[in-house]
């Protein structure tokens, strides 16, 4: 009778190894996206880069739209889709601006504050009770931001504010997705997002439009294709492996973007940037760990958070 759990564990271990490989590749691709955004941002406005990112992202959902037609947009809660579109547009524009104007390592480290903002949003808007362990981890995580911006050479600026705003907006979008999943399927959620962001980001792009050159077209197309592939790999990873195993692997992205920042842009992050990033990563990993513990606990848990 003890052989069954061992077999189950073996299958789970194999699935996690496959999922980890997909997640690792996803981290590599998202690092390349950051590099492409920074290269394109040397000459093109942020709003235009965001628009092309969304435009080329349509290639992912085009097959769903072609197969299901307009019925793919049928939803019971259009307000949620609009809310997510607004959050996504704010998140992408501010995030791309941060990547363009900050060192890659700093910009990506700021994006890792998303889980911290999600906890704040859950407390404010959902009335969720956060016990002392997750609450303390959240405070420590934001302390990591202060470490990065304190004695280091990264002064508080519009770019830093944009990076934090992006994390907040993306956290809001992720919270909305959780509500959408209760009534709408993945195809509907993706179709609304892809189509809506194209139209929403086209408006600011028109006011700052610059016709891209040959090299700029290369970076714009690369961003769109790489983003689509990176998202596919991430979805594949989470569909195969355990989320508690997949989430930590995403943080290897900080290693790749630091290397790309050094090789491509001659960026050398300060020691305080590294320390602050480490504090943010550790605190968010702990929060993810605590969430997994709470979800696995029985209805009347013996261990309090």
Q: What is the pLDDT of residues 146-199, one digit of tens each?
A: 888 776 556 778 999 999 999 999 999 888 887 887 888 888 888 899 899 999
**What b/e readout covers 4-28, taking b as 16+ CB neighbours within 10 angstroms?**
eeeeeeeeeeeebeebbbbbbbbbe
Q: Could you list the residue range(s) of the whole structural domain that residue 167 is in?
A: 76-183+270-305
Residue 195 falls inside a structural domain? no
Residue 188 falls inside a structural domain? no
Instruction: Quote the number of domains for the chain.
Output: 2
Q: How far apart are CA 118 and CA 232, in angstroms?
A: 23
Asked whether the predicted pLDDT for residue 10 surpasses 60, the reply is no
What per-residue confidence (pLDDT) applies to 303? 43
- Please provide residue 226's backbone torsions phi and psi, each rounded to the nearest 5 degrees: -65, -40
Residue 61 falls inside a structural domain? no
Q: How far apart are CA 91 and CA 97, in angstroms?
A: 10
**177 and 221 assigned to the same domain:** no
**286 and 216 assigned to the same domain:** no
Residue 11 falls inside a structural domain? yes
**112 and 214 assigned to the same domain:** no
**226 and 149 assigned to the same domain:** no
211-264 per-position pLDDT tens digit:
999 899 999 999 988 888 888 888 788 778 777 777 788 888 988 999 999 999
**110 and 150 assigned to the same domain:** yes
Q: How far apart are CA 281 and CA 283, in angstroms?
A: 6
What per-residue confidence (pLDDT) applies to 2? 43
pTM to 2 decimal places: 0.84
**226 and 282 assigned to the same domain:** no
**159 and 280 assigned to the same domain:** yes
**169 and 284 assigned to the same domain:** yes
Residue 246 token pair? 């997949």
In the chain, % of residues over pLDDT 90: 41
**257 and 302 assigned to the same domain:** no
**83 and 150 assigned to the same domain:** yes
In the chain, the largest separation of any two C-alpha atoms, in whole Å, equals 69
Q: How far apart are CA 101 and CA 158, in angstroms?
A: 9
Output the CA angle 74-62-82, nearest 5 degrees. Answer: 45
**98 and 155 assigned to the same domain:** yes
Look-up of token digits 């790489």: 226
Q: Which of 35, 96, 61 is nearest to 262 (CA)?
A: 35
């Amino acid at each position: 009778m003890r052989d069954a759990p061992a077999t189950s564990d073996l299958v789970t271990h194999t699935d996690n190894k496959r999922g980890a490989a997909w997640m690792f590749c996803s981290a590599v691709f998202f690092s390349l996206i950051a590099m492409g955004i920074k290269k394109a941002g040397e000459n093109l406005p942020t709003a235009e880069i965001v628009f092309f990112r969304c435009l080329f992202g349509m290639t992912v959902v085009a097959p769903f739209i072609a197969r299901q037609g307009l019925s793919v947009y049928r939803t019971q809660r259009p307000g949620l889709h609009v809310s997510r579109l607004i959050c996504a547009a704010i998140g992408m524009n501010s995030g791309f601006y941060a990547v363009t104007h900050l060192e890659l390592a700093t910009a990506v480290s700021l994006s890792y504050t998303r889980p911290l903002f999600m906890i704040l949003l859950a407390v404010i808007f959902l009335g969720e009770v956060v016990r002392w362990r997750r609450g303390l981890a959240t405070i420590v995580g934001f302390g990591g931001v202060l470490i990065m911006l304190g004695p280091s050479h990264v002064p508080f600026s519009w770019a830093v504010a944009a990076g934090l705003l992006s994390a907040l907006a993306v956290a809001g979008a992720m919270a909305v997705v959780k509500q959408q999943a209760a009534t709408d399927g993945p195809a509907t959620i993706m179709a609304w997002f892809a189509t809506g962001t194209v139209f929403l980001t086209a408006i600011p792009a028109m006011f700052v439009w610059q016709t891209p050159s040959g090299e700029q077209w290369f970076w714009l197309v690369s961003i769109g294709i790489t983003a689509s592939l990176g998202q596919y790999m991430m979805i594949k990873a989470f569909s195969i492996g355990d989320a508690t195993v997949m989430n930590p692997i995403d943080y290897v992205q900080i290693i790749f973007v630091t290397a790309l920042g050094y090789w491509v842009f001659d960026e050398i992050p300060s020691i305080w940037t590294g320390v602050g990033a480490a504090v943010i990563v550790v605190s968010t990993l702990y929060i993810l760990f605590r969430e997994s513990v709470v979800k696995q606990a029985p209805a009347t848990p013996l261990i309090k958070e």
